[in-house]
Structure 1
Amino acid sequence: MAKTPGIPARRAALKLLDAVMRRGETLEQAENAALKGVDGPADRALARAIAGETLRWLADLDALIDSATRKRLPDDAKPRMVLRLMLAQALRLGTPPHAVVATGLDLLAGGPRRLAHGVFSTLMKREVSLPDAPTLPDPVRARWGDRAEAIAPGLVDPPEVDLSLRQPDEAAERALAMGGVSLARGHIRLPRGTPIDRLPSFDEGAWWVQDLAAQIAPRLLGEGVGKRALDLCAAPGGKTLALAAAGWRVTALDISEKRLGLLRENLKRTGLEAEIVKADALAYTPAKRFDAILLDAPCTATGTCRRHPDVLHRVSERQIGEMSEIQQSLIHRAIEWMQPGCVLVYAVCSLEAEEGEAQARWIDATFDLEPMPVSADELPAKLRPTPEGWVRTHPGELAEHGGLDGFFIARWRKPV
């Protein structure tokens, strides 16, 4: 008997969800094993979409399930896992209910299929819907405090595609040609799902993919013709490309050979140059000090929750603390390599205060550096610096244009 089409993709989505919720893996870490045996890019994309939407709306999906059961299903019970996937397809991906049932109940072979069918059918008869914005998990809301309400509307959909241009003044012309919009100098935003490698200008090397918020940090170093800059923790390389395009002689350092491979490919495609160093930053010693250092530090990456909703469910206080310690170690090292007049930009794609604001205050209190407040005219339209002159972005900002990642960025100079 032939298998129902689409079941391998649903089974893969269940494996992805299980890897995040039970084992604390990222979706990317789980993909190789979970997608094994799923044929074709369309089915693999479907599996990712089902898992991603389930994680994005998990609290709201669980509330619906609980409203239709007399006894609450355990969080890790397989029927709950399968019902989450089924509801995400019906309510977020527009899959017809009969197709959801046909492909979903097979995931409970030998299990309580009648229960899952009954709960799903009850909710469909009620014509249930999801709220306008996802409900954030309780631990996340507690950490983000007053910001949580503003952030949630930015998580409704996966992000669109942002490009950073090698020649910033070409943004308006290229945006028109590509059917996109420009929200800042040197930036273009295209609709989500745009096939990047098939854009007519891909082989020109005139741009690279980089979220709008991530484009801010390298631009805060300005033009650097003939000056030496260190991009610490550089891969996959968007910051290195931006610095090289601005004239800096860039040393790009990272510990991951695989991720540096992506940087090498982009340097070749764009025709830009940088010295690539594979090394552990905590053991690295440069031959000379630098005129500028960009430290986009390893972090929990909770600011990328638009594209990686798994971070909403697997990042804990313990991980935040561990990342904070690593960040301080890297800051210590970076400051050792600053020559007088050197500018340091510290950035994290995290929404956690411990990784952002607290680190900036620690730098101010610990080191002999001069704060360099960021001004409004250095930022994309409608973004404003904090009263301290720092940059704090979150997914709910620029929501009318599709939002942006959550970043913290601050800048200092070493006295001459």
Structure 2
Amino acid sequence: MTQAVSNARHVAFDLLADVLDRRRLLDEATTANTAFSALDSRDRAFVRRLVATTLRRLGQVDAILATFVTKSPPKAIRHLLRLGATQLLFLETPPHAAIATSVELSRVLKLDGLSGLINAVLRRIDRDGRAMVAAQDAARLDIPGWMYESWEGYYGAGTAHAVASACLEEAPLDLTVAADPASWAGRLDARLLPTGSLRRHGGDVTALDGFAEGGWWVQDAAAALPARLLGDVAGREIADLCAAPGGKTLQLAAAGARVTAVDLSRKRLERVRENLGRQRLSAEVVAADVASWQPERLFDAVLLDAPCSATGTLRRHPDGLHLKSAPEVTKLAGVQARLLRAAAALVRPGGTLVYCVCSLQPEESEPQIATLLSEGAPFVREPVRPEEVGGLDELITPQGDLRTLPCHLAELGGLDAFYACRLRRSA
């Protein structure tokens, strides 16, 4: 075993503890971890995959560990066992490597007295664990009960199980191009999806053709749809609210809109500016609280990508399985209602308002629109048409709103979950 591999697993241990013990977002933890940054690209990819898979499959892993460990071990030992079991059961790491490195790491962490336990448990998992995985209902074990039950009550049992199962798969790499997607598909060895996005599986983004010249940007195929609901935006005044990290701002600017990108976080707006610069696009960038922002003019269209629970992005951010809670969703729903009222006030008569969230939670979607309209806001729904979403009728709700689910386009790798509603202000 090389020192680099040992370091990689030590970093994975630290990141897992950051998420589960210190309740830190995985992206924030990796950014702050200098040892992670010091690894070479191959080891960074391994660490990221190991930690993400452990978080994604934690319910299954813990159920198996409970069979072999009758007493609750210290947190450090539990994390070591989780990482070792994940390698054996889900990453196809050679058993000798997964077990030996776990035992060695226990010694590095000065847990020598328990290295025998780690060795024995992982050997039993190597022998019996795969058969146990085959008998598990992964969707019910890995998705928190409150989350799964909310999906089941809203989408029905069959769809909820399909959604949960899809959330446990790694998401592919989706790209939005400024122009000529068919040509870029060939250059990037990517598949052109019906919705217009490009899809690849893996690869170092910065090394791909066109990254430096700004021909495209990373954006899930579902996340690219709400901005397209605004139609032809060339020359129109558009406010992109809660805009960071800026994917929708880039879409609108590339389509010729005069965009004002607004976000509360100055730090996150720096990323918007960086992305605009790389794409050689321009937009007005404003640091402000959308709920109280009072510009001097109204807009032809307003896109509100409201802060939400982000349960629709669990494929990419499995830490959300362990960091989200039902009370947080309730709190966020209140924030969304306030922001939606503020956004509605910024739309000129005859203009368009699109509200969207990357969430699977019911209270963050249709009820927000129902409340706005029941309060007398001068808007009417403008239903989404199939041709606006690549002809995929299944992405449109009976009310005419956009609703993508992780199990949609399953044969092509699925989608993030997004809800969007388009409203037209009365003239």
Q: What's the TM-score bracket when you normalise by the shorter of the two chains? A: over 0.9
CA contact (8 A) 1:13 1:34 kept: no
Aligned length: 410
Aligned equivalent of 1:77: 75
**Deviation string for 1:306-343 (max 9, x for gaps)?**
01001111100111112111111111211111110111
Aligned equivalent of 2:191: 181
CA contact (8 A) 1:7 1:104 kept: no
1:138 aligns with 2:154: no
1:274 aligns with 2:283: yes
1:149 aligns with 2:178: no
Aligned partner (choices 393, 398, 409) of residue 420 of structure 2: 409
Q: CA deviation at 1:116?
A: 2.1
Aligned equivalent of 1:104: 102
Q: CA deviation at 1:410?
A: 0.6
SS in 2 for 1:203: coil
Letter in 2 for 1:181: R
Q: CA deviation at 1:28?
A: 1.4
Deviates more, 1:13-22 or 1:303-312: 13-22
Give the Cα separation in 2 of the matches to 1:54 and 1:263: 31
Give the Cα separation in 2 of the matches to 1:30 and 1:196: 20
CA contact (8 A) 2:307 2:357 kept: yes
CA contact (8 A) 2:146 2:326 kept: no
Letter in 2 for 1:66: A
SS in 2 for 1:286: coil
Give the Cα separation in 1 of the matches to 2:339 and 2:276: 25
**Deviation string for 1:241-285 (max 9, x for gaps)?**
111222221101112223222222222222222111122222321
Aligned partner (choices 380, 383, 402) of residue 390 of structure 2: 380
1:324 aligns with 2:333: yes
The gaps in structure 2 that reach 5 residues or longer are: none
SS in 2 for 1:93: coil
Aligned partner (choices 242, 245, 251) of residue 260 of structure 2: 251
Assess, with a 3 A threshold, how the Cα gap between structure 1 residues 107 and 139 changes in structure 2: closer, same or farther: farther
Letter in 2 for 1:352: Q
Equivalence map 1:328-367=2 (5 Å): 328-366=337-375, 367=377
Give the Cα separation in 2 of the matches to 1:250 and 1:320: 30
Letter in 1 for 2:10: R
Give the Cα separation in 2 of the matches to 1:402 and 1:39: 29
CA contact (8 A) 1:166 1:186 kept: no
**Deviation string for 1:333-370 (max 9, x for gaps)?**
11111110111000011111111122122122222211
CA contact (8 A) 2:357 2:420 kept: yes
Q: CA deviation at 1:22?
A: 2.3
1:14 aligns with 2:16: no
TM superposition score normalised by structure 2:
0.90
Percent pairwise identity: 40
CA contact (8 A) 1:21 1:313 kept: yes
CA contact (8 A) 2:64 2:129 kept: no
1:36 aligns with 2:38: no
**Deviation string for 1:157-206 (max 9, x for gaps)?**
32111111212xx22222123211111353211112x2222222223322
SS in 2 for 1:73: coil
CA contact (8 A) 1:346 1:411 kept: yes
1:370 aligns with 2:368: no
SS in 2 for 1:241: helix
CA contact (8 A) 1:294 1:346 kept: yes
Equivalence map 1:193-342=2 (5 Å): 194-342=203-351
Give the Cα separation in 1 of the matches to 2:94 and 2:32: 28
SS in 1 for 2:384: coil
Give the Cα separation in 2 of the matches to 1:34 and 1:309: 19
Assess, with a 3 A threshold, how the Cα gap between structure 1 residues 157 and 267 changes in structure 2: closer, same or farther: same
Give the Cα separation in 1 of the matches to 2:6 and 2:146: 33
Aligned equivalent of 1:164: 176
Deviates more, 1:17-26 or 1:210-219: 17-26
The gaps in structure 1 that reach 5 residues or longer are: none
Q: CA deviation at 1:80?
A: 2.2
Give the Cα separation in 1 of the matches to 2:161 and 2:208: 36
Give the Cα separation in 1 of the matches to 2:329 and 2:347: 27
Deviates more, 1:276-285 or 1:224-233: 276-285
Aligned equivalent of 1:400: 411
Give the Cα separation in 1 of the matches to 2:421 and 2:182: 28
Aligned equivalent of 1:58: 58
Give the Cα separation in 2 of the matches to 1:158 and 1:312: 14
Give the Cα separation in 1 of the matches to 2:241 and 2:2: 50
**Deviation string for 1:99-139 (max 9, x for gaps)?**
11221123433352222221111121225253485542322
1:391 aligns with 2:390: no
SS in 1 for 2:176: strand
Q: CA deviation at 1:240?
A: 0.8
